[in-house]
Amino acid sequence: MTENTANTGLAHIGVVGLAVMGSNLARNFASRGHTVALYNRTYEKTAVLMHEHGADGNFIPSKSIEEFVASLERPRRAIIMVQAGPATDAVINQLAAAMEEGDIIIDGGNALYTDTVRREREISAKGLHFVGAGISGGEEGALNGPAIMPGGTKESYESLGPLLESISAVVDGTPCCTHIGPDGAGHFVKMVHNGIEYADMQVIGEAYHLLRYAAGMEPAEIADVFKEWNTGDLDSYLVEITSEVLSQVDAETGKPLIDVIVDAAGQKGTGRWTVKAALDLGIATTGIGEAVFARALSGARTQRAATIGNLPSGEVTTLEAQGVDKTQFVEDVRRALYASKLVAYAQGFDEIKAGSEEHEWDVDPRDLATIWRGGCIIRAKFLNRIKDAYDTNPEVESLLLDPYFKEEIEGLMDSWRRVVVLATQLGLPIPVFASSLSYYDSLRAERLPAALIQGQRDFFGAHTYERTDKPGKFHTQWSADRTEIEA
């Protein structure tokens, strides 16, 4: 560590906010040979990082924002890794005050994309660049190679891109980092990534629940099943860690750890934001929505305390009573999981397409299928297939229409339906398995009950309807002689 005054303009990049994610990101930059400026609101965290890892690379620690900014080479590049919300705004303002035209402020947290759009507008008015960059991969990813989704101007990416690409995960020689689109595009895409993450985790949870409580398998046995599943179509980070979690034994009680963890899931907001944005865009992200609601319901602890064992279930059957073969059931659950997962990804990509159109971001879905193959939480082998699908037809109306996925789903269909029926008969909750199947059946339906809804709307509110046989809008005079008029 050198005296900071001697370090003016030396650092290639700076990190503000040195909690675990920020520290790991700084260490990642340093491990790739970059000189990294460091700043944290309280110097203690900076000191800890310097004490523990200062010798691993070139770091320039600072005690003030001004000193930190001065230590950066130009154009200055500073990544903020602080809590989303007011803390981010405070740091942005401090940085902006100390920076000069052409410098780049990067927000690497999980910011709400509308905040990013606003911040980009405010910061660019000052002649600076503002880049909202989604960073996925948790603590381990930040340290060894995350997936990075930067928004902002093309110009800022020219200066920033090579640095970010140098620390990202790499799959088949391609960095898991690319310019996503202007202003809020990067954070929007990261938000939807997290929404898909919620759905993916929930479908894995539903599969576990069925194996445990329908098939009566023990956690260690289920861990082996997930390990096996991870060698096929379901090969993914989330399936891999599921096996790890299920095989963990609690040191204190000797029980499977899963049995001593409270079944109330937390959430920081990105899943909820994904659903809110989908509602505004009119996109049916039902799998993600159900996953968010499933977390909310799990966390409604007072309500659950009052209802557990206190609500009728009707006649509930068992797997044995249904004469279901356990091996077949496990395979059915695997297929139902895969099918529901495909739906969740298809819905997520639909939302990204709609968001991109709405904000004129021109996001290329192929980029996402490429960079999500490594580093991020939803990394999965089948993202290669999604990339192929968009390579074949970038305009495909739904991923489910891609010939490969269409054929896959056809092969999964019977199992998927059997699992949904059986879980219902067994009284076991499967919100995403069931809603995904319903979504699929809605998509492919020749007629939907929406015709009746239009009739009802016209009845009580003269909202009019369209006819299948001629153009125009029509209204039936329900309270008069019920003749139809053109509206």
Name 32's Cβ contacts closer than 8 Å, sequence gap at least 6.
Answer: 166, 167
154 touches ligand 6PG by CB under 6 A: no
Any known ligand binding at 18? yes
Q: Choose between 376 and 383: whose C-beta lies nearer to ligand 6PG.
A: 376
- String marking each residue 102-121 x if it binds ligand 6PG according to CB under 6 A: --------x-----------
What tokens appear for 487 in the block? 């509206």
State yes or no: is 446 an active-site residue: no
DSSP 447: S
Q: β-strands 13-16, 77-80: how paired? A: parallel
Ranges within 181-240 binding ligand 6PG (CB under 6 A): 194, 197
What tokens appear for 312 in the block? 């009728």
Residue with tokens 């997520």: 348
Q: Choose between 202 and 230: whose C-beta lies nearer to ligand 6PG.
A: 202
Ranges within 269-308 binding ligand 6PG (CB under 6 A): 270-271
* Residues touching ligand 6PG, count (CB under 6 A): 13
Any known ligand binding at 110? yes
346-377 per-residue burial string, b: 16 or more CB within 10 A, e: under 16 = bbbbbbbbbbbeebebebbbbbbbbbbbbbbb
DSSP 54: G
Q: Choose between 21 and 225: whose C-beta lies nearer to ligand 6PG.
A: 21
By beta-carbon distance, which residue lies closest to ligand 6PG? 136
- Count of C-beta atoms within a 10 Å radius of residue 397: 11
Residue 134 CA to residue 113 CA, distance in Å, equals 10
DSSP symbols for 103-137: -EEEE-S---HHHHHHHHHHHHTTT-EEEEEEEES
Residue with tokens 């202003």: 183
State yes or no: is 197 an active-site residue: yes
Q: Choose between 176 and 217: whose C-beta lies nearer to ligand 6PG.
A: 176
- Count of C-beta atoms within a 10 Å radius of residue 192: 30
- String marking each residue 114-153 x if it binds ligand 6PG according to CB under 6 A: ----------------------xxx---------------
Question: What is the nearest approach in angstroms of ligand 6PG to the Cβ of residue 472?
Answer: 47
Among 133, 222, 368, 377, binds ligand 6PG (CB under 6 A): 377
Residues catalogued as catalytic: 190, 197
Residue numbers at the binding site for ligand 6PG (CB under 6 A): 110, 136-138, 194, 197, 266-268, 270-271, 376-377
**Which parts are annotated binding residues?**
17-22, 40-42, 82-84, 110, 136-138, 193-194, 198, 268, 295, 457, 463
